[in-house]
Amino acid sequence: NGTMEYGRNLFKGILEVHSETPFATVKAIGEPRHVEFHGISRDHLIDPKDSTLFDVCFRPYQIDNPERFADLIFRGRRFVISQLDAIGSRCDYIYDSTMRFYQQMGIAASDGVVCISEYGLKDALEFFDFDPTETPSQAFLLAMETAEESPTISRTEDETAFMVVGSWRYDHKMLR
């Protein structure tokens, strides 16, 4: 999904910069099977028993449970999170009140919030009611890979053009 692709490509980009100009220890927190599934070597995975304190932890997604919240607080002197958008937070069938609580606490306790668009930032500021002068926040576009080749579409004049839209089956996506 796009969220995972964002996190994976962001991590790979950090590793690429790090390989050219080493600047710190770069590790991922996660389960080996998930990390490998997304094409990241286990060599970059931090051992859950490792007590290394990092200068900065970055979570490319919102915090939605106490374990993720604790990981960031106990593993980093500072931490920054991505709040992808507030749409899921408005939908009780996606995020219940407990998950929204951890999102709110994550934003309040963080040293910075990154959103994926100016609209997403405005929406998060309004929905989670946080002060951008106290919690620095910024919008930037997703770290997505660019296609190596643009697809070519050929059709005759008498053919009808169609577009296929795919997404997760959530009511707020309004796809049927």
Q: Which residue has the tokens 């490509």?
A: 9
Between 105 and 6, residue with greater pLDDT: 105
Q: pLDDT band at 111, cuts 50/70/90?
A: very high
Which residue pairs from 143-151 have beta carbons closer than 8 angstroms and sit at least 24 positions apart in sequence?
Answer: 143/6, 143/9, 143/10, 143/13, 144/2, 144/5, 144/6, 144/9, 145/5, 145/9
41 and 72 in contact (C-beta within 8 Å)? no
Which tens digit of pLDDT belongs to each residue from 36-66? 887 888 888 888 788 888 898 888 888 888 8
Give the model's confidence band at 69: pLDDT under 50 very low, under 70 low, under 90 confident, else very high.
confident
* 119-160 per-position pLDDT tens digit: 889 989 999 988 888 899 998 776 555 555 555 656 666 676
Is 54 within 8 Å of 75 (Cβ atoms)? yes
pLDDT at 137: 92
